[in-house]
Structure 1
């Protein structure tokens, strides 16, 4: 391609994808490209995809069609998990020019220089086993909060999940490099860093040139990482985006409880409150361990917010299994739920499991748990009414109002004050 200078980005999926899109944007701006909003006209459109749910695949196709109608001469690039899993399927979508797999995502500029609109779609991908490198990335949203990627890939084999096929083996940055990035973010004015990864608690595994990918060559781990980050001056707050219950150790919980910078807020995937279903999902813990983790957190930090991922409608989830999940969550001292309706994914073991739960039952179970989540969050906020807590306010002026979050993740809305933007303010709830 020749002379294309404007680029627009769209991200589907998780916080990790947002951090990578932000880094791709800065990479291209450093190469002379001018960033545009995705709704604007641009020479190049980059869609960073997810493939955790069927909806993400559909949304990708819809976005391509929309661009085709709006800007038929523009170059369309698809990257991310969907691109790694089904590159040929994406290349056949009319209008797609370039498909970049996991290993080629950050070589986007080189590949763009080698294509022209009207050529057949170029696929730049490889077997996921060959993806061994780690690319650090972070997103900046008006300099208030950033999502900093410190780990990628996963060595687990949950029966419903395509992520290991899309992201490869577990690998992570070095502690020294993460600290360096945190210091740079502090210097740029960022107040809060959210640590992100595919399996964050697995932090510490290669590559560092001393051995095969997946081996812990550096003798680094997540606990050592958070200890070092806690010493970085200028960053007021850290949050742990998501951590598996079997990797959330007593020492991590105690450290967060005693830290000034790590916020009293955990997000811990559960997926099911039924041990039978957890076994079918190939999860690495049982509900008793999960309850123990929550209990320990609340013992050290009664005010701590705890978010939970749950999947409903997994194959073989009978009515009594779902009821067991509901009862478990109802009794658990948690704050909110992220509820996912199970959707079939190619090449996963769950496709072979029976009986299949009817779609209308899946949706009904989702609705029941979303209602429970609303009640849980309302109860959590009511417990803190009248307390004074520290709120980090964001830059956005939304019709004369601004938003921020307390240390324990209660959202606060206040009349907009410019001097409060990106500042931590004592606030009575």
Structure 2
């Protein structure tokens, strides 16, 4: 029996796609091995959001070749899509796929094994119009299950390579979303997280549905949520990253009225300066973003809003960066992911002459991250003394951690079972979250 090992870089969408490929190999009779051990084949699902992702992808490919020079190494994902020639030239690479054709990866790996030749199938992703619907044939070993319902992005932010790697918006059909959700709940998952490259664009490419009065209505993310919430036995539904402008009244209604809908939204701000937002080709300004967040907090009290921030974008002066710090200071973010701007060849921002020096970007990351850490503590402090429901996940050295519905990580030494929900009294700040005892 052949052994295949996987390595995933990047986002939750990549993680989900790796899990679907693992299922395809298991179905074909393969054993899933560990990546740092000899295997007959290695599958590397790459990321290209930053130059660091590209570099890590190359390092991991070379590592797999050193582990077993005779193994078939299959490389797929965003970096393989945007730079297939660079991947092909790395010693040991046998299969190169992009962000399509993953449903045939077993076939391509076996072809490379049989013919001792390099197999390359990287097609024009801009011509991809339908969602690559690969069922989950094997269940991941986690308490939360990610369910990909959308692929592609058409926003073309000036710094981002992803639209070129993923192509236009492609949505999973609602009936298939429910079928996958039913499988996940039946397998014992308590929480499902809906993911996508541009999740809020879900449904734009699908045919509208006819209403009882004869009118037509577009399918939206709210419809996908209703499909999952209709599954009996589901305890929690959480959304992946959304654009703030895509928060619809229907979505608010579901979050507010269905207790299974997690009170947590990840809404990328990217910059707290109107000038920088304009240069990034983001389609809002800080005032509009602030109004949207105020509406979110009014509609769903206690909701957690996390965000992404990019610092050191081309042309970001010290004054513009200070504007960003001041804006973030006014917001009640529960968590912030801070990134230095990464120059991506082929994007408009990469062509600009006013690039920020690396030492300046590094220093700004530290300042923004210090603010992010303080904002997270302030958010957590609001819940000290309260009792909250926690879905526990992993145990190490007698301490188990898990998440509240508003994405606060809770640690405890109370006897609990991973994958189960408990009422927990929150006592104090601890590590990146809080400490509590089961009620």
Q: Fold match, TM over 0.5?
A: yes
Contact 1:102 1:131 (C-alpha < 8 Å) held by counterparts: no
What do the CA deviations read for 1:192-231 (whole angstroms, capped 9, x no partner)? 0111001111000336799xxxxxx983111222233222
Counterpart for residue 37 of structure 2: 40
Moved more, 241-250 or 129-138: 129-138
CA distance in 2, matches of 1:301, 1:33: 47
Counterpart for residue 404 of structure 1: 402
> Structure 1 residues 20, 218: CA separation in 2 closer, same or farther (over 3 Å shift)?
farther
Contact 1:153 1:169 (C-alpha < 8 Å) held by counterparts: yes
Counterpart for residue 64 of structure 2: 67
Counterpart for residue 111 of structure 1: 108
Moved more, 140-149 or 194-203: 140-149
Pairing 1:335–2:334 present: yes
Q: Deviation above 4 Å: which 4+ runs of structure 1?
A: 117-120, 137-141, 207-210
State the 1:397 CA deviation: 2.7
1:108-187 correspondence to structure 2 within 5 Å: 108-116=105-113, 119=116, 121-136=118-133, 140-187=139-186
Counterpart for residue 382 of structure 2: 383
TM value normalised by structure 1: 0.93
Counterpart for residue 412 of structure 2: 414
CA distance in 2, matches of 1:102, 1:64: 17
CA distance in 2, matches of 1:207, 1:97: 36
Give the one of 412, 419, 422 matched to 1:425: 422
Counterpart for residue 91 of structure 1: 88
Give the one of 7, 27, 50 matched to 2:4: 7
> Once superposed, what is the RMSD of the aligned Cα atoms?
2.0
Counterpart for residue 194 of structure 1: 193
* Unaligned ranges ≥5, structure 1: 211-216
Aligned residue pairs total 418
Counterpart for residue 298 of structure 1: 297
State the 1:361 CA deviation: 0.8
Counterpart for residue 24 of structure 1: 21
Counterpart for residue 97 of structure 2: 100
What do the CA deviations read for 1:292-350 (whole angstroms, capped 9, x no partner)? 11111111223111111111111111111111111101111111111111111111011
Counterpart for residue 369 of structure 1: 368
> Structure 1 residues 140, 273: CA separation in 2 closer, same or farther (over 3 Å shift)?
farther
* Unaligned ranges ≥5, structure 2: 210-215, 427-439
Contact 1:88 1:123 (C-alpha < 8 Å) held by counterparts: no
Counterpart for residue 252 of structure 1: 251
TM value normalised by structure 2: 0.91
What do the CA deviations read for 1:94-125 (whole angstroms, capped 9, x no partner)? 11111012222221011122113895533211
Contact 1:397 1:416 (C-alpha < 8 Å) held by counterparts: no
Contact 2:242 2:268 (C-alpha < 8 Å) held by counterparts: yes
2:7 counterpart SS class:
strand
Contact 1:75 1:117 (C-alpha < 8 Å) held by counterparts: no
